[in-house]
Amino acid sequence: MRRGYRIIPKFVLGTPSDVVAHRTAWLPIRVRQFLNDFLIGTLNGKNTLYGLEEPKTKFGETHPTINDELLYKIRHGKVHPKGDIERFEGKTVHFKDGTSEEFDTVVACTGFWLVHPFFKKEFINYAEGPVPLWLRMFHPDHEPLYFVGMFQPLGCIWPGAELQAKIIARELSGQWQRPKNLRELSEREVNHPDFKQINTPRHTITVDAHRFFKRLRKELPKNWVSKGEVKTRI
């Protein structure tokens, strides 16, 4: 592991961890950061107890690792954590802590990269640098182009993707109009992120799920959720 990460369980007291986090959405982010760190520390203890590096960032400044089994596997000797790699020499891997070991196979878990192979890079390339899209979906220059689900929430992604799709449907059906100052709004999203994360290509589209979903719901009418019976045909 290249840096220290927070290991978050999938469930807290039998409830999905993102649902638990949603119950504190009304609190300021700094307060939530403190409470989340306190809860994780109470449940897991320090990373050093598992041979892992301690996080050097505040909660939300890097993506956490959501896993119920990793710490268990480490303590039972099934997984042996190592630090960042310095170089390769044949099958020998030299680590930055001065140790070295031989391995038959190395699997590079580099995370996700924003790549759109169906676009020319001179047209759109979000693999590096900021992603100036309003509500993480509207391009300021290309009106017919929409991006759905291209955001990294600290929480569940599907409710946000559904809200984005509903806004698009309303625009296509003529029930909603995008604002005129779209470029200004897009730049504001870049310059005022929900979390000030570390500067890497992996941390350009992160949002606070609760704040982001609230911004999306502002673009929908109050009755956007149907209360009546819905009939479908298959």
Among positive and negative, which fits the CA dihedral 107, 110, 112, 116? negative
Give the pLDDT of residue 2. Answer: 82
Residue 162: which domain range?
113-224
b/e 147-160 (16+ beta carbons within 10 angstroms → b): beebbbbbbbeebb
Give the pLDDT of residue 101. Answer: 94
Give the pLDDT of residue 216. Answer: 95
Q: What is residue 203's three-state secondary structure?
A: helix
Judgement on whether residues 103 and 129 belong to the same structural domain of the protein:
no
Judgement on whether residues 217 and 197 belong to the same structural domain of the protein:
yes
Give the pLDDT of residue 23. Answer: 80
Widest Cα–Cα separation across the chain: 65
Judgement on whether residues 41 and 94 belong to the same structural domain of the protein:
no
Judgement on whether residues 101 and 150 belong to the same structural domain of the protein:
no
Q: What is the pLDDT along the chain (234 residues), one digit of tens a residue?
A: 888 889 988 888 888 887 887 787 788 888 888 888 888 888 889 999 999 999 888 887 787 888 889 999 999 999 999 988 999 999 999 999 999 999 999 998 877 778 899 999 899 999 888 899 999 999 999 988 999 999 988 778 899 999 999 999 999 999 999 999 999 999 998 898 887 777 777 778 888 888 899 999 999 998 777 666 666 565
Q: Look at the chain and report how many structural domains it folds into.
A: 3
Judgement on whether residues 18 and 49 belong to the same structural domain of the protein:
yes
